Amino acid sequence: MSEVRAHHNEAATRTFLEAALESLKVGDWEAGVIDAGRALAITSQRGLQAVALDAIAMGHLELGRLEPASVAALEALRLGSEDGIDVLHLIAERFVSEGDSGRGHALLEAAHKASPTQARIVAALAVQAQRGGDYPSAIRWFDMLDRIDPDGADGRRQVVTGVRDTVEKNDRTRRLLSMIGARITAVAGRSVFTGPFAGQVLEAAHDFGWIATLLGCYELELHPAIEQVIQSKPRVILNVGCSGGYYAVGFALRIPEVQVIAYDIDASAREACARAALANGVSDRVTIRGACTPEELQKLAGPETVVFCDCEGYELQLLDPAVVPALASTTIIVELHDVWVPNLGKRLLRRFVPSHQIGHIAMLPRRPEGYEVLTRAGLSDGEAALAISDFRPEGMTWAYMVPRHVP
């Protein structure tokens, strides 16, 4: 009797799978997910389970349901699906295109853990790390890829050499910046010289742009918007992507009553922000947290809150008034990372056209002539140009968005 039932289940499974695959072929994604789910529910064969899970993952992906698509694709990969690798890659790319590169990377990491010798997964991790500027990780993944796929090493050599050259160039630039910074601080100290946060004490170098921060010309495009925010005296400032704490601490210094909540997914950034808050005597008004989620944002946003956001493309996920209605009455300053997420700026800003006055801010040229300390420090023209640089890709923009109507 059990053999008859098993035979019946296998026949039914194949019928459901054929229907699911036909539905996917014609773009009826929902029907494909349903029929594949029916097949999965009655089969005990790993191969058929993998096919069903691949179909479910693809259907959810096309419907924009990335989380269930991820779960199904990972399980298919665990069961040995070859097609699951391509589906996982597509899901990861979709996460990145929606501004959640962290989730895309985590998915690829999980796929690598499930199937450590899959060259395509390791290649995707290498490319994603390279694209995101994490060159040491990119080299690590490329080295692993060479061990897994030695036959393809020659074809990758030019790319890998370019990444290694970039790492060496960055190391040289860091050493040069350290020398330039030492010469400047020797003659002028370690407090910000000019700009909206003049007088803030900076700790050790925290990124390439730290000398521009010290000079007060870092993101000088935002100075007028920052001054307007300060004059508006908000009750709360949410600094999403706080890095070393320059803005979190700066706002706390300039607005005596404000409570600043600083978010960063990088533990070292959170530690640097905490040290900066302590050094400037504002630790009691700067709260430091990890990731800022839409749920958290909904609790804190509103007319008396300002969001200051620099989160490497995640702004497309986070700043959505359809998901976070409180943003409709919130002032927002946001860096727009079109350089990593195509058309991010247009996609994000159109969400706020009905509710906000929007200023789209472009990059401004830097001129060392305005900073006499560079001369006092004895810097060459090339060193002075490095000192005032934000080290920002060409074409970076920001938006300053103020609600049209505040309740």
Query: Any idea what the CATH number is for the domain that residue 392 is in?
Result: 3.40.50.150
pLDDT digits (tens, 9 = 90+) for 262-318: 999 989 999 999 999 999 999 999 999 999 999 999 999 999 999 999 998 899 999
Domain-embedded: residue 30:
yes
**Cα distance between residue 230 and residue 227, in whole Å:** 5
98 and 175 assigned to the same domain: no
Domain-embedded: residue 78:
yes
200 and 54 assigned to the same domain: no
392, two tokens:
């920002």
Strands 356-362 and 397-403: antiparallel
Question: What is the chain's mean pLDDT, rounded?
Answer: 91
Indicate the pLDDT class of residue 1, thresholds 50, 70 and 90. very low
pLDDT digits (tens, 9 = 90+) for 156-184: 999 999 999 999 998 999 899 999 999 99
Q: What is the CATH number of the domain that holds 86?
A: 1.25.40.10
Indicate the pLDDT class of residue 8, thresholds 50, 70 and 90. low
**Cα distance between residue 125 and residue 127, in whole Å:** 6
Q: Is the pLDDT of residue 368 over 60?
A: yes
Q: How crowded is the C-beta side of 85, counted as CA atoms within 13 Å?
A: 17
Strands 286-289 and 331-336: unpaired
324 and 389 assigned to the same domain: yes
Strands (E), 244-367: 259-263, 286-289, 305-309, 331-336, 356-362
Domain enclosing residue 19, as ranges: 2-115
Domain-embedded: residue 13:
yes
245, two tokens:
């704490």
66 and 196 assigned to the same domain: no
301 and 386 assigned to the same domain: yes
83 and 185 assigned to the same domain: no
Domain-embedded: residue 212:
yes
Domain count along the chain: 2
Q: Is the pLDDT of residue 370 over 70?
A: yes
Section 200-221 average pLDDT? 86
| Residue from 398, 85, 369, 359 nearest 220 by CA | 398
Indicate the pLDDT class of residue 345, thresholds 50, 70 and 90. very high
The model's pTM is 0.82
247 and 376 assigned to the same domain: yes
The predicted pLDDT at position 405 comes to 79
203 and 340 assigned to the same domain: yes
Domain-embedded: residue 102:
yes
186 and 67 assigned to the same domain: no
Section 177-193 average pLDDT? 92
275 and 353 assigned to the same domain: yes
Q: Is the pLDDT of residue 207 over 50?
A: yes
**Cα distance between residue 327 and residue 305, in whole Å:** 9
pLDDT digits (tens, 9 = 90+) for 111-134: 888 888 889 899 999 988 888 788
Residue 257 burial (CB count, 10 A): 9
The predicted pLDDT at position 208 comes to 79
Among 138-142, 148-152, 205-209, the range scoring the smallest mean pLDDT is: 205-209
Q: How crowded is the C-beta side of 319, counted as CA atoms within 13 Å?
A: 35
**Cα distance between residue 137 and residue 395, in whole Å:** 26
333, two tokens:
């300053």
The predicted pLDDT at position 2 comes to 46
Domain-embedded: residue 142:
no
The predicted pLDDT at position 205 comes to 61
Contact 397, 346 (CB under 8 A): no
Domain-embedded: residue 373:
yes
The residue ranking higher by pLDDT, 391 or 350, is 350
Coil vs helix vs strand at 102? helix
The predicted pLDDT at position 407 comes to 67
Domain-embedded: residue 153:
no
